[in-house]
Structure 1
Amino acid sequence: MSEPSRRPGQGSLCPPVASVADCLQLPALREGEVLSGHEGLGASVRWVSTAALTRGCAPGEFRLLARLLGGEAVHAAADGGAAALAAPLVSAEAVAAGGALGLPVIGLTPGVDLDEMAVTLLDFVIGSLDGALTRLGEVTARLAATASDDLRLETVADTLAAATGTAVLIEDAEFRMLCFAGEAAIDDNRQETIRAGGTPPGFRASVEMRELYAEMARTGLPVRIRPDPTIGVMLPRLVAPVVAAGELLGYCNVILPDDDLGQQVTAVALEQAAHLFALALVHQRARDLGGRMARVGLLVDLLDGRLPAELLRARADQVGVDLGGGHTVALFDGPAEQRPEAWLRHAQALLSARSTELVDVVAGTVVALLGGADRPRALRWLTDLRTASGGGTAVLGRGTDAGGVSAAYREARRTLDLVTRSGPGRGAVVDVEDLGLLGVLIEASTDGSIDRFWRHRLAPLRDYDAREGTDLCGSVATFLEEGGLRRAARRLGVHANSLAYRLKRAEEIGGFSLSSPDARLELQMALRCRRLLGP
């Protein structure tokens, strides 16, 4: 990958001016030859002078000399911040020093009038500065007007893109795309970023890109990325961190225009816009926090069940939630190595098209109050949430009206606690309406006795299966579910005599008789508990 580089003058709001390369396009310098230091041709020129020596060069100075005869002279100019050195007579040592320092050393035509050339160059630099300041002032005015009228990410991005003629993309600190704007040409990498909803992990995984983003986080300054066809970056871009109160909130990424002046104006405008993006994000965070607090307060009050119905409806109206019709409580407890806020982000993303649902973290668990009576849809949402989070335990409560939410939540919470104590789930979401008699027992048991019951009842068979590599538990379960030996054998794909032998062994090892109605009921309950609640 091409190495990212910092633009000259980056990190300050110095007005953009002509570069050394721009100066070399003037008729007075067109016959000159760049002898070394080509990588410094993009440096800004802020002053032009003639002198006999290189000492005393100012930052950004283009110095014209009668002769440049030693490497020490070039080093002295570089120490002073010179942008370029030019002379009719240049020694090999001076050329070598310019190449080593990246300072352009230019050979001029013999007999050239250095004073006249200096006047021409200085007029050009001042004129360039005037034009750049005018254009930059226009961009600044448009950004300021946007900040005053409508301080949102989208409007600031639109203004920056329109004022600079660039393609703008804003991401948060985790590289999720927040918005993009601009009609300028984009390359394959930008197209992929937009399709993926943020910078692809493969792009930012290289050592160079990790260092680039680490540098931005450390310094708070923009960084330029050069084209690199191997990763689809065909156009140069400038990336600026969006920072507020020392916190990295995100990144602003612009594809630079072709002309040098446009790039310089864009660089300064981007630094100004980055501050506006930070303000917009902080304001948006405050709005979101206020809205979230109101919604989570309503959710907690519904789960608690003690607030009068009239007050609940009034609060629901304030946050745009319809408490009429049916509701279903859903609970999700994700992987232990993740924070609940991470589960919540997945949950909210999956509910993005259903804005009336209440969802937040309550007592360390994601709790959602889903509107409507579409249980298959709710089950799919919980299943998708488990997949997005990489595992976890999910429980779908009973359907109810607003008045019954509290009781439905308590039942779903007890079920979740029991499933969690029983160990890792098997991948299926537990629906309390499918528990039947087991659900009644769970409702009546809050001390873990259900968990202890099924584990104790099946312990001999589970231990034998684990030790011998058999599945006597599965054979007994199939026999009880099918209600007959031959049907169970067909389902298992074995001969009836083979199944009969397995069941006999299960009776001997488990200490029960399948001919006993009480034993069959106990085993059915224990096996159902095992299927729904345990590994």
Structure 2
Amino acid sequence: MTSSVAHPSGVASARTRSREREVIAAFAEITTEAITAPGLEDLLQLIGRQLCRLLAVHRCSVYLRRGDRFTGAAGHCEIEGDISAAVQAQEAGIAGDAFSQEVIATRRPVLISDVPADPRPHRRTMEHWRVRAMLGVPLVFDGDVIGLIFVDNVEEEHTYSDDDVGLAELFGRLAAIFIRQAVLNSRLAAKAAEVVRQKNVLGYLATVHHKLTDAVLEGADIGAVVTMLSELAAKPVVLYDDAFGVLAWAAPAALRMTEPPVLDRRTREHPAVRTALTALSASRPSTVVPMLPAVGFGRRHQLTRLTIEGRPGGYLAVVEVGRGLSDLDAKLAESGATVLALQILSERRQIEAEGQARDDFLSDLLRSTRDEAQLLRRGPQFGIDLSEPHVIVRLAVGGGVSQLSASAGRGLVVRRFAAVLGGAEPPAVGLPGAVVVLVRLGGRAGGPAELRDHVAEVVASLGPQLDVRTAVVSRVCRAAADFPRAHRELREVEELAASFGWREGVRTVDELGLFRVVMNSGQVKEALRFAHDLVAPVRAHEAGDGPLLTTWRAFVAAEGKVQATARTLDVHENTVRYRLGRVRELTGTDPADLDVLLSARLAFQVLDLAGW
């Protein structure tokens, strides 16, 4: 049986007036207790209990409108006590709940006396709550339904009179006024609490910013800033470069961590993490990387991208260990990322400025534009002690596959020299079509000749990024005045190599001695004719570079020593003597004669540079 009842018309009966006075008395109690009620949920429970008392039932549930939905807010049962948690998991007016929809649509109480037999209630919900008879009461304020109250007896039949229904309607209208005001108060309190929270957050972040900037101004490096962030967050903090290499990290001492909790490659390749990283931008610098047990990633990371000069410059991670991540961790990470980005940029600028000053010093050294005393005085500030022996290496370069800029090419060269030679990057200067590197000989007793193999390794490692056409090592420089002359010699050798089209191997100025004198005379064609004429009889006999010519070359390189030649060729000394005898017969000259040795050395150098 169902009924929907309006206020009775005419003069109210004595019974009605008495019930209305009960409603007024109930709201007097509600008003008194509402003043001290700690929150909206307590007030809703109080209202529900008072309606239960007026109707002599045991259970109530209150729903509030949030947008276009009616969600559970509070509940009470005389048998079970506070049932708010269970009610809050429910929603009224959903599909299949025609009962609640009718209360909302009519804005009048709706009574269902026999719930199991009525098709309108949501069947599963009614069975769960074991409802037999139920009254639904709308909370109407200013013509709108702002909530619903449902009352019933647990697993018991209950008869609701028309007077009960009318009383419930009146109660609902009065309750709506209280609830509307309570909701507004709750929202205002929440806003006030949020304002206080935001004020506290801003104060905290201002303190953090001052601490970080003061530390940087006092000379703290990147590692010290990361340590300070870890102390402020009371969590591990990791600073990554753009490829997720660890630049610095710190963790509270109490955690006793010996390794940084990193985002390894396997984690970064997970689709969820890839999506989160791709979404990072200047307008959305932070994200939370969730736990991923499937890939062994058990700690959430508050990850913030560093932006340096408008481009990605690394990442800062606050790691969830112990306490959970919070909004403050996100703000802390973003503030720290800003300070670290500025610090990294400052350090880059400082390095670039120092590098430029060092390059300028090397340019002055090569051009001899400063007096020697000034050069000697300035050298140590760039790590250059001109009292120690040095050599100059000049690399004639092209664009290479990647078409590197001059500065990028110079940077690549010095990094490769540092990797091959060990130690810091050597001073270098980029010139049109060349990179000139200053190398301290240190303990290399072999001088330029020993260094040549290292330079060859550097040249080999540069391709195809940088096209090195020639590489020449100067003679040893022991004073400031030696460097301009050594550099002039390198340019001369480079020009000679270009004229012959020579592109293979690394040369030292010392090994080109007599050849350079001849070349500087301008008699290049004559030198070529002389070289060909010297070796022509042997080549004609062997139809090319056979064992006789190879032995002759090795003999000249060994400075006329038979034993050294035999070791080089891995043959018996008598074999060397026999072959040299054949050379003597073919050319009519003695290969061991000093003049012939000098002529042959020059001839072979000319042929090598000419590519013969």
Q: In 2 relative to 1, CA 229–51 (structure 1 residues): closer, same or farther, beyond 3 Å?
A: closer
Partner of 1:237: 301
Q: Is 2:407 aligned against 1:359?
A: no
The unaligned stretches of length 5 or more in structure 1 are 1-27, 29-48, 72-87, 93-109, 194-198
- Which position in structure 1 is the counterpart of 2:366? 303
What is the alpha-carbon root mean square deviation over aligned residues?
5.8
Contact 1:303 1:406 in 2 (8 A): yes
Say whether the 8 Å CA contact 1:223–1:240 is kept in structure 2: yes
Give the conservation status (yes or no) of the 8 Å contact 1:50–1:64: no
**How far apart are residue 191 of structure 1 and its match?**
7.5
- Give secondary structure in 1 for the equivalent of 2:504: coil
1:304 Cα offset (Å): 0.6
Deviation at 1:259, TM superposition (A): 3.6
Matched ranges for 1:64-83 at <5 A: 66-67=91-92, 69-70=94-95
Distance 2:209 2:67 in 1: 42
Aligned partners of 1:127 and 1:419: how far apart in 2? Answer: 80
Task: Please say if 1:410 is aligned against 2:500.
Answer: no
Q: Which has the higher contact order (CA 8 A, sep 6+)?
A: 1
Q: Deviations over 1:360-418 (max 9, x none)?
A: 43334332334465445982764664465358554332222112211112223433555
| Range that drifts further, 243-252 or 270-279 | 243-252
Secondary structure in 2 matching 1:524: helix
Question: In the alignment, is residue 389 of structure 1 matched against residue 462 of structure 2?
Answer: yes
Deviates more, 1:328-337 or 1:454-463: 454-463
Is 1:51 matched with 2:51? Answer: no
Q: Is 2:353 the counterpart of 1:290?
A: yes
Label 1:523 to 1:385 Cα distance change in 2 as closer, same or farther (>3 A). same
SS of residue paired to 2:475: strand
Is the aligned partner of 1:251 residue 2:324? no
Q: What's the CA shift string for 1:67-97, capped at 9, x where partnerless?
A: 36349xxxxxxxxxxxxxxxx98989xxxxx
Q: Is the 8 A contact 1:244 1:279 kept in 2?
A: yes
Inter-partner Cα distance in structure 2 for 1:484 and 1:410: 34
* 1:485 to 1:331, Cα distance in 2 relative to 1, 3 A: closer
CA distance in 1, matches of 2:238, 2:415: 22
1:264-309 residue CA offsets vs partner (Å, 9 max, x unmatched): 4322211222211221122223322332222221111111113233
Q: CA, structure 1 residues 305+274, in 2 after alignment: closer, same or farther (shift >3 Å)? A: same
The 3 A distance-change label for structure 1 pair 150 and 488 is closer
Farther-moved stretch of structure 1 (156-165 vs 174-183): 174-183
Structure 1 contact 328–396 (Cα < 8 Å) conserved? yes
- Choose which of 401, 408, 431 in structure 1 pairs with 2:508: 431
| Residues 1:529 and 1:249: Cα distance change in structure 2 (over 3 Å) | farther
Query: Normalised by the size of structure 1, how large is the TM-score?
Result: 0.59
Distance in 2 separating the partners of 1:157 and 1:177: 12
Q: 1:375 to 1:205 in 2, by over 3 A?
A: farther
AA at the equivalent of 2:481: G
2:240, 2:530 → 1: CA distance?
Answer: 51
Given residue 601 of structure 2, which amino acid in structure 1 is its aligned partner? Q
| C-alpha separation in 2, matches of 1:154 and 1:90 | 64
Partner of 1:153: 222
Post-superposition offset of 1:514: 6.4
Q: How many Å apart are 1:337 and its aligned residue?
A: 2.9
Aligned residues: 434
Instruction: Note if contact 1:425-1:534 (Cα within 8 Å) is conserved in structure 2.
Output: no
Question: What does residue 9 of structure 2 align with?
Answer: none
Whole-angstrom distance in 2 between the partners of 1:332 and 1:208: 48
Between 1:480-489 and 1:518-527, the stretch displaced more is 480-489
Cα distance between partner residues in 2 of 1:239 and 1:462? 74
Equivalent of 2:475 in 398, 404, 408: 398
- Identify which of 133, 141, 150 aligns with 2:207: 141
Q: Distance in 2 between matches of 1:458 and 1:208?
A: 74
CA distance in 1: counterparts of 2:350 and 2:564, whole angstroms = 62
Counterpart amino acid of residue 213 in structure 2 = A
Equivalent position amino acid for 1:252 in 2? L
Relative to structure 1, is the Cα distance of residues 469 and 124 closer, same or farther in structure 2, using a 3 angstrom cutoff? Answer: farther
Alpha-carbon deviations, 1:93-131, whole Å to 9, x = none? xxxxxxxxxxxxxxxxx999xx9xx99999999989977
Distance 1:304 1:440 in 2: 23
Larger mean CA deviation between 269-278 and 142-151 belongs to 142-151
Secondary structure at the counterpart of residue 291 of structure 1: helix
Provide closer, same or farther for how the CA distance between residues 456 and 126 of structure 1 changes in structure 2, counting only shifts above 3 A.
farther
AA in 1 matched with 2:251: G
Is the Cα contact below 8 Å between 2:364 and 2:370 reproduced in 1?
yes
- Using a 3 Å threshold, how does the CA distance of structure 1 residues 50 and 122 change in structure 2: closer, same or farther? farther
In 1, Cα distance between equivalents of 2:300 and 2:526: 64
Corresponding position: 1:477 with 2:553: yes
Distance 2:533 2:251 in 1: 67
SS in structure 2 of the partner of residue 279 of structure 1: helix
Q: Distance in 2 between matches of 1:497 and 1:122?
A: 108
Letter paired with 2:462: S
Q: 1:328 aligns with which of 377, 391, 414?
A: 391
Mapped partners of 2:397, 2:274: distance in 1: 29
User: How do residues 87-486 of structure 1 correspond to structure 2 at under 5 angstroms?
Assistant: 134=200, 137-138=203-204, 141-151=207-217, 152-173=221-242, 177-183=246-252, 190=260, 215-216=279-280, 221-226=285-290, 233-260=297-324, 262-313=325-376, 315-316=378-379, 321-332=384-395, 336-337=400-401, 339=404, 340=409, 341-347=411-417, 353-354=423-424, 358-371=427-440, 374-375=443-444, 379=451, 382=455, 385-386=458-459, 389=462, 392=468, 394-400=471-477, 401-416=479-494, 418=496, 422-426=501-505, 429-438=506-515, 440-441=517-518, 444=520, 474-481=550-557
Q: Which stretches in structure 2 are left out of the alignment for 5+ residues? A: 1-40, 42-61, 71-84, 97-120, 126-150, 155-178
| CA shift for structure 1 position 478 | 3.1
Q: Is the CA contact 2:358–2:427 (under 8 Å) kept in the aligned structure 1?
A: yes
For the structure 1 residues 348 and 490, does the alpha-carbon distance in structure 2 shift closer, same or farther, using more than 3 Å as the test? closer
Identity %: 21
Matched position secondary structure for 2:481? helix
Give the counterpart letter for 1:181 in structure 2.
A
Residue 524 of structure 1, CA deviation: 3.2
